Structure 1
């Protein structure tokens, strides 16, 4: 089982090693560490870890939170395979078939930011133009997604929103009225580093789509 853990801790020598030791005592195999933030004396890192069997997320939280100054911001499943370059793979497939650029985008983008699903919606027509296989098949009875109305998702700027168990990211698709929306359940809010990565990829895919 692969999990992503988002951990905040004092930015001082040895703090990262403390987190690694705790995970090791729990039987975790650390596959990757991604630095999200280093500022104001604190660090925020994402650990991609695997366990040979089921794991109790609450136990992981309790053990890590027992280290002075350490805070667990989220524990959630991930499909991203460490050591791969899913953003490059996405762009390769878009370059091969730019006519399907946005359909390819929603299929691949969730793995880039450890989300569960993605859609491109048209707030004007309240339609889902493209969707990944785990995404809702249509807007709900309120005209929205997982409790958030399409009008609220269609902000003029990239935004991170929350709705109950769902964390959402909404990005305007350049030169259109459509929005790319990504979601994950039970994980922390999308970090600004994830937001920035998604924005860059979306901008490049949008440019490549004009080649069709």
Structure 2
């Protein structure tokens, strides 16, 4: 099975190799490593791994956490394709058909950030304008994200927030009167590096779409 692991470890020479060796001894095949931060003496990386069998997230977490200095922040399933360039693919499709720029963005952006689904809502009313195939039909009420108000979902700046078990990211789409909202039901909150990446993609799409 494909898993994504967010791991924090001491930022010193050889530490990344130690993490890789530990994953190897546990039977994991490392497919991709994404650097998220290098601050305050620690590093935070996301590892995309192929794990043999149907190992559950808690088992993976427990087996890694016994190693001194390694802290497993999250383990969750992923459908991302290591080595692919989904940012470029998304922008190519937007440039090919700019009239559908924002619909294409909503459909494709979950794959960029290991999210489950995305929606575009009106910045003013909070009305749902477009949703990816796994998104709920509504953001409140039955089948929606209970307890989330439209105003909470449409901050003035790119932001992360939470609703129950969902980790959310909300980004205003410049010049379109829309907000893009991504959800990750499993796994950690969106990292600021992921927020910055999404904001750059949204900015480019908004330029092409206008």
Please confirm whether the aligned pair reaches a TM-score higher than 0.5, indicating the same fold.
yes
The Cα RMSD (Å) is 1.4
Answer whether contact 1:146 1:166 (CA < 8 A) is retained.
no
- CA deviation profile, 1:168-204 (whole Å, cap 9, x unmatched): 0000110233210000012101001100000000000
The aligned counterpart of 2:162 is 162
For structure 1, the residue ranges without an aligned partner over 5 or more in a row are: none
The aligned counterpart of 1:137 is 137
The aligned counterpart of 1:113 is 113
Task: Trace 1:29-68 onto structure 2 (pairs within 5 A).
Answer: 29-68=29-68
CA distance in 1, matches of 2:46, 2:139: 32
Count of residue correspondences: 209
Answer whether contact 2:31 2:50 (CA < 8 A) is retained.
yes
**Superposed displacement of residue 95, structure 1:** 0.7
The aligned counterpart of 2:206 is 206
Task: Trace 1:63-78 onto structure 2 (pairs within 5 A).
Answer: 63-78=63-78
Structure 1 residues 178 and 145: CA distance shift in structure 2, 3 A: farther
**Superposed displacement of residue 123, structure 1:** 4.5
Answer whether contact 2:5 2:46 (CA < 8 A) is retained.
yes
**Superposed displacement of residue 141, structure 1:** 2.2
After TM superposition, which residue ranges in structure 1, 4 or more long, deviate above 4 angstroms?
Answer: none
- CA deviation profile, 1:68-97 (whole Å, cap 9, x unmatched): 121111111111101110000000000110
Structure 1 residues 89 and 148: CA distance shift in structure 2, 3 A: same
TM-score by length of 1: 0.94
Tell me the SS of whatever aligns to 2:93: helix
CA distance in 2, matches of 1:147, 1:102: 26
**Superposed displacement of residue 53, structure 1:** 1.9
CA distance in 2, matches of 1:181, 1:126: 11
CA distance in 2, matches of 1:170, 1:126: 12
**Superposed displacement of residue 146, structure 1:** 4.7
The aligned counterpart of 1:197 is 197
Matched, 1:182 2:182: yes
Answer whether contact 2:126 2:151 (CA < 8 A) is retained.
no
The aligned counterpart of 1:8 is 8
CA distance in 2, matches of 1:138, 1:88: 30
**Superposed displacement of residue 162, structure 1:** 1.4
Answer whether contact 2:140 2:148 (CA < 8 A) is retained.
no
The aligned counterpart of 1:81 is 81
TM-score by length of 2: 0.95
Tell me the SS of whatever aligns to 2:54: coil
